[in-house]
A and B are shown apart, each in its own frame.
Chain A
Amino acid sequence: MTGQTFAQKAIERASGTTGLVPGQIVDAYPDLYMSHTASWRCIRTLEKMGVDRLYDVDRVAMVMDHLSPAMNAKTAGHHALCREFAQKMGVKHFFDVNSGIAHIVLMEHGLVRPGQFIIGTDSHSTIYGALGAFGTGVGFSEITAAWVTGKLWIKVPESVRIVIDGELAPGVYAKDVMLKLIGDLGADGLTYDSVEFTGSYVAGMSVSERMTFCNLAMEMGAKNAYVAPDDATLAYLDEAGVPRDELEVLLPDADATYRSTVHLDGPTLAPQIAVPHTVDNVVGVDDVAGTKLDQVFIGSCANAKYDDLVIAAEVLAGHQVAPGLRLIVTPASATIMARAAENGVLTTLIQAGAMITNPGCGACAGAGGAMTDGETTLSTANRNFQGRMGSYDSKIFLSSPATAAASAIRGVITDPREIVAEVVV
């Protein structure tokens, strides 16, 4: 038998089958069913079905992240419905409006483990590959069906390998690598594919950077993304309280079959920007430097982790946000926010003129931080679709936290290396 990719192994494990090849459809039994604010739709669907017995309530994880805290009675009602349901059914993994973004919260709490098969009511569920799990997004009907039956149909994907070698230049980050790849391969470049990241740069990445990678792989259409677990992964899992003897690491075989292999050279990369209104509309920062900004948003599951806030604070330290510009910082989780508070990161950001909001999706989900007609935001999130942050006649550009912070200082899109250079001089 020839070697297997990560996706083949993970789906075989979840479906209890062997010898799977790409294209086959099997029933898989996920280890975890994540539903975010969409949980209320699952609950309503379940009520409609007249079912009150779940396959395995311990595999249900609900996080109130998208519209939190509630800004109107309707959303408050949805939250209340979820709370009551969790209480009634004994859902242990229920995280309320104070917790943060589902993906990040679940990983911090040790609910995502290598080799696991995880579905979520969110397209960026690919992020779980940062810890060597198979994560993929589905609709709320499928989560409801999984609550009841424990399973879902899944097609074994083909796999693509992305190899990134060499160190990145100062001022260039994981986000820039991903924007470059999305621009080169296109918004549908990896549709249906399982993506495995590898290479010397990837081996040296922090878990936070791996999250950025696996999160953004979705923007090329990927079904799931994966970085092989290593010592950095183990250290993260230790901190998340996952006992080592419970780990089931799955690694692809050296002779596995890939549809293609993409190479990217790390050292030659410059900061990248996605320009409106698609994520694959990517240019080097030079091409759009000087574009006037009304708002900068440092947030989202892609880039509001602790390391991202530190990077932004390092750039902003000793500077002031440009007059008239709104800088909104939304930490990805309560844990991250507490750590940033403890270590003075939030103070640095506030002193520079940033406004810190509660952890969660915030402006990325259109909850606060909206724009009026003709305005422009530079965001560290993963989507710049028309109208996602308010007016249909506003613009969203995407960048790394460093570029976002540098641009907040100048009030226009700015190469972060210019600000860093100022400090050195």
Chain B
Amino acid sequence: MGSEHRVGGKVITFGENVNTDVIIPGRYLVSIDPAELAEHAFEPLGPETQARLRASDVVVAGRNFGCGSAREQAATCLIGAGITAVVAASFSRVFFRNAINTGLIAVESPAAAEAAADGDEMWIDYDAGTVETGGQTFPFSPYPPVLQEIMADGGLIPHLMASFSAGGSR
């Protein structure tokens, strides 16, 4: 503990192959505002799920979370809904990239995803590479250095801007 990269809180769980059209329907992609997008996150699953999402901090899911489209808003809308991390058995590759690039923590840990239920607490420390839930600690392999740098700056665009102001070449 004591790591500045420890985030977490209340869990909301989803099943396998949760696709981007369910996370954020295509009709709302005319916006890139996290708060506006958050209003429509998981809309196909109904208002009860949406209310629970907004009261949660960590999304926990099965295999292939975020499969489907390359829409970056699938990550942005979760951030807008107050989600700080997604822990899944596995991710679709574009969702994983979009999560890192928007500063949303995405951790692949089948064991941790299996261990948590709706309403549980879960804490993720991505410096230490651990997920804690229900009194158990699950290790995961830390991000490679390139991705760590992007995450530390809060996403790809802030990272680029930081590199420019640090005397970058452009």
Residues of A within 8 A of B (CB): 25, 38, 41, 44-45, 48-49, 51, 53, 74-75, 78, 120-123, 125, 137-142, 144-145, 148-149, 153, 187-188, 191-192, 221, 223, 278, 280, 365-366, 383, 385-388, 392
A49 with B146: CB separation less than 8 A: no
Q: Which residue of B lies closest to A370 (CB)?
A: B27
With an 8 A cutoff between CB atoms, is B51 at the interface?
Answer: no
With A25-B144, A141-B101, A385-B68 known to touch, is A221 a contact of B156 (CB < 8 Å)? no
- B70 near A48 (CB under 8 angstroms)? no
- Shortest 7 CB-CB contacts between residues of A and residues of B: A139-B72, A188-B64, A385-B21, A137-B70, A139-B98, A123-B70, A392-B44
Q: Which residue of A lies closest to B168 (CB)?
A: A149
Assess the B156–A141 pair: CB atoms within 8 A: yes
Q: Is the Cβ of A149 less than 8 Å from the Cβ of B68?
A: no
B44 lies within 8 A of A188 (CB): no
Contact of B97 with A by CB under 8 A: yes
Contacts of B147 in A (CB 8 A): 153
Contact flag A366-B93 (CB < 8 Å), given A49-B161, A51-B170: no
Could you list which residues of chain B lie within 8 angstroms of chain A, going by C-beta atoms?
17, 19-22, 25-27, 29-30, 32, 43-44, 63-64, 67-72, 75, 90-94, 97-98, 101-102, 144, 146-147, 155-157, 160-161, 164, 170
How far is it, in angstroms, between the C-alpha of A376 and the C-alpha of B69 when the chains are bound?
22
- B68 and A74 form a contact (CB under 8 A): no
CA distance A187 to B21 in the complex (A): 15
Once bound together, how far apart are the Cα atoms of A153 and B149, in whole Å? 12
User: Once the chains bind, are A278 and B19 in contact (CB under 8 Å)?
Assistant: yes
With A123-B94, A221-B93, A383-B21 already in contact, the answer to whether A139 and B71 are too (CB < 8 A) is yes
Chain B residues, Cβ within 8 Å of A74: 30
Q: Please name the residue on chain A nearest to B160 by beta carbon.
A: A145
In the bound complex, residues from chain A placing their C-beta under 8 Å from that of B92 are 188, 191, 221
Q: Is the CB of A45 within 8 A of B157?
A: yes
CA distance A51 to B170 in the complex (A): 9
Known contacts A123-B94, A188-B90, A191-B64; decide if A141 and B157 are in contact (CB<8 Å).
yes
Minimum Cβ distance to chain A for residue B150 (Å): 8
Q: How far is the CA of A125 from the CA of B19 in the complex (A)?
A: 18
Contact B17–A188 (Cβ < 8 Å):
yes
Give the residues in chain B near A385, CB-CB below 8 Å: 19-22, 68
User: How many Å lie between the Cα of A382 and that of B56 in the bound state?
Assistant: 33
Q: In the bound complex, do residue A365 and residue B157 qualify as a contact, i.e. CB atoms below 8 Å apart? A: no
Nearest CB in chain A to that of B46: its residue: A392
| A141-B72 CB under 8 A given contacts A148-B170, A191-B92, A278-B19 | yes
Q: Which residues of B contact A153 (CB under 8 A)?
A: 146-147
Please determine whether A149 and B156 come into contact, CB atoms closer than 8 angstroms.
no
Using Cβ atoms and an 8 Å threshold, which residues of chain A touch B97?
138-139, 142
Measured between alpha carbons, how far is A149 from B161 in the docked complex, in Å? 11
11 residue pairs A–B, Cβ–Cβ below 8 Å: A25-B146, A122-B70, A139-B70, A139-B72, A139-B97, A141-B98, A188-B92, A221-B93, A385-B21, A385-B22, A386-B21
Report if A387-B101 is in contact (Cβ < 8 Å); known contacts: A141-B72, A145-B157, A221-B67.
no
Cα–Cα distance between A38 and B147 once the two chains are bound (Å): 24
Report B-chain residues with C-beta under 8 Å of the C-beta of A148: 160, 170
CA distance A192 to B69 in the complex (A): 15
Q: Is the CB of A223 within 8 A of B101?
A: no
Q: How far is the CB of B78 from chain A (nearest CB, A)?
A: 14
Q: What is the bound-complex CA distance between A74 and B30, given in angstroms?
A: 8
- Contacts A49-B160, A49-B161; A138 near B70 (Cβ below 8 A): yes
A149, B160: Cβ atoms closer than 8 Å: yes
A383–B90 Cα distance when bound, in Å, is 20
Contact indicator A192/B93 (Cβ below 8 Å) = yes
Complex Cα gap A365–B160 (Å): 31
CA distance A52 to B62 in the complex (A): 42
Q: Are A75 and B98 in contact (CB under 8 A)?
A: no
With most chain B CB atoms within 10 A of its CB, the pick from A41, A122, A123, A153 is A123
Assuming the contacts A144-B157, A278-B17, asked whether A53 and B170 have C-beta atoms less than 8 A apart, the reply is yes
Among A142, A145, A191, the residue within 8 A (CB) of B93 is: A191
4 other contacts beyond A142-B156, A187-B17, A385-B68, with CB at 8 A cut-off? A145-B160, A223-B93, A366-B26, A383-B68
Q: Are A387 and B44 in contact (CB under 8 A)?
A: yes
Q: Given the complex, which residues of B lie within 8 Å of A149, measured CB to CB?
A: 160, 170
Q: Given A385-B19, A387-B25 in contact, is the A145-B64 Cβ separation under 8 Å?
A: no
What's the Cα separation between A149 and B71 when bound, in Å? Answer: 21
B residues near A139, Cβ cutoff 8 Å: 70-72, 75, 94, 97-98, 101-102
Nearest chain-A residue to B150 (Cβ)? Answer: A153
* B-chain residues with CB within 8 Å of residue A122 when the two chains form the complex: 69-70
A366 to B17, alpha carbons, bound, how many Å? 21
**Cα(A397)–Cα(B53), bound, Å:** 29
- Are A49 and B157 within 8 A (Cβ)? yes
